[in-house]
Chain A
């Protein structure tokens, strides 16, 4: 009886223990899965269940100062294929046959590409136009996913292409205004997180968390499209006429520092854009702000303005030129090897006498001359919105290798490196009343809600007095309109200006035969509305700055001021009847 009781008890507790152990194992496993490894498995489940997509924000438009679009974005679609939906050969064939014609592909190739990609979602087309994408969404071929995107269009074609620049597929600017103002233009991307089925398709009414993308701001440039076109066409003609390797034209409003036009040649072209081609990446630079050159005699304007402002000279101060100046063992001669004898400072600028520039720089001394160069902005970028702006360079007495010859050559624009934009900005300061203004390409930002924020002129410094500036205007007028005929004289306006012809330095050697011919000037003299810099690189005909770039300047003054409704100074008026 006792044995039976014992056995009976064992029959109960032995299975009980076994079952208890099994239950404990199961509970332990559950604790492992649900508690200890919870995050890992939850993550795995989310990855399988949840899909996400990033919607890039609509990029802001870039328009000229009158609201004409240089670059704007239109909605397009990027087409992806989820390979899980194409594992069934029949479904894959059907989907490929529906999709391929819409995106201009061969069905067989498309299917092969998707199945061999090794990716879950394979992109098969970018920038598909809006209507085609909508049709695809309505037809809904298996596994085909259309995600919204935008494509940049340039209604003005290649106009100002180098200035506007380009951006990458990630909506980040690579060059030009697109890069310099990327933060304002690109907006904020949106994101969608959704549950998807085994074929990777979003489950209708599944969890869907979306943050709306916020469009970028529109940028109103200071550029005028008409003047930009005028600058580009005139520059291209001049380059062809003088067989130059390239060139630059900058037009600036002297009272505000607003750049009205900036043309470079060679330049980026939207119509022929292929960054894989050798040399195309080089075109992403804007040489008017990134590349330095030796300005040559144009720098005599700055030297004369500094000497005038310091009270060392006046327009009638005389200098007797002997044809050369010896500094240590270096003999500095005039550009044409002539001896001019006694000349006033105005005559010095008219004849572009190198030895007289050396005279003016000597009167100032190196420290004072360099402090004027600093004040004119030649030792730092102009602060424009374009990326990669160079800061300029000239050797100072503390620098290694300095010699007094450096001061002499800097006075007439050799041995000093500046950018075309720096030169234009400094020249504007000599004739606008003595105010150095920040060079600007942006007139306003327009928020997505239409609110406009205007940029204001920014005075960086006052390198010379208003009186010195007025004197410089008269002296420069006498340079453009001397007693003899000058090819740089505009037909209808009184202008002021100065030419420059500089040899191009070769690293490790002295100077090459190649030259830069340039002309910088302003008009009208009494109330300057525009400053124009014309620069021709390595013109094969070896004409001087006055001969090659001067006529281009004159042509641009007449055409641009007429467009800007500035009454002409020298026109034959007819009485109205």
Chain B
């Protein structure tokens, strides 16, 4: 008799394996409950991940703010009076001798634009208070 190399096949076929009969409602309930249980875990995981991202963004924002501060300080240092004088001297410039004043018929140049933050703000003019009797008159039904 020839031996057929079917180590598992025979067993499966030989012993009947009864599939459990599952009610559809029960299965759906289990699925819903499982998803319901998984949802908080999922939410927690997402919140943790977002929190971590948020911390990274905060750190990045702080780093950028610091870099802005450093750059502003650098700009201030580079535009300091001593440095301007040093550069001017290096370029061969120096203080003027006696100035020559020229009278011209044209009006002078417009003043340089000053950044808005250095200009004084508008002073709001206080509204004239309404006379006390106006509120009384407004209640009287007068023909218009």
Contact = CB atoms under 8 A, between A and B. Distances in A.
A156 B73 CA distance: 11
A74 B101 contact: no
Which of A225, A444, A453 gathers most chain B CB within 10 Å? A444
B48 A205 contact: yes
A73 B80 CA distance: 16
Interface stretch (B4-12, B26-34, B114-122, B127-135): B114-122
A562 B99 contact: yes
A141 interface: no
B81 interface: yes
B101 A568 contact: yes
B69 A74 contact: yes
A130 B64 CA distance: 11
Contact of B79 (A68, A220, A568, A574): A68
Which of A65, A75, A159 gathers most chain B CB within 10 Å? A75
A484 interface: no
A452 B117 contact: yes
Interface residues of B, number: 30
Contacts of A196: none
B89 interface: no
A134 B60 CA distance: 11
Interface string B49-69: 001000000000011011101
A574 B80 contact: no
Q: In terms of DSSP, what is the predominant structure of the interface of chain B? A: helix
B81 A156 contact: yes
Contacts of A450: 117
Interface in B87-135: 99-105, 114-115, 117-118, 120-121
A574 B103 contact: yes
Nearest to B69: A74
B76 A69 contact: yes
A328 interface: no
A575 B99 CA distance: 14
B73 A153 contact: yes
A75 B100 contact: no
Contacts, number: 80
Nearest to B85: A229
B117 A225 contact: no
B115 A157 contact: no
B80 A157 contact: yes
B114 to A, nearest CB: 8
A572 B100 CA distance: 8
Contact of A574 (B76, B102, B114, B117): B102
Contacts of A108: none
Interface string A546-577: 00000000000000001000011001111110
Nearest to A205: B48
Contacts of B73: 69, 72, 74, 153, 155
Nearest to A129: B70
Interface in A183-234: 205, 220, 225-226, 229
B59 to A, nearest CB: 9
Contacts of A155: 73, 76-77, 79-80
Given A67-B117, A74-B73, A205-B48, A572 B101 contact: yes
A43 interface: no
Contacts of B102: 573-576
Interface of B: 48, 51, 62-63, 65-67, 69-70, 72-73, 76-77, 79-82, 99-105, 114-115, 117-118, 120-121
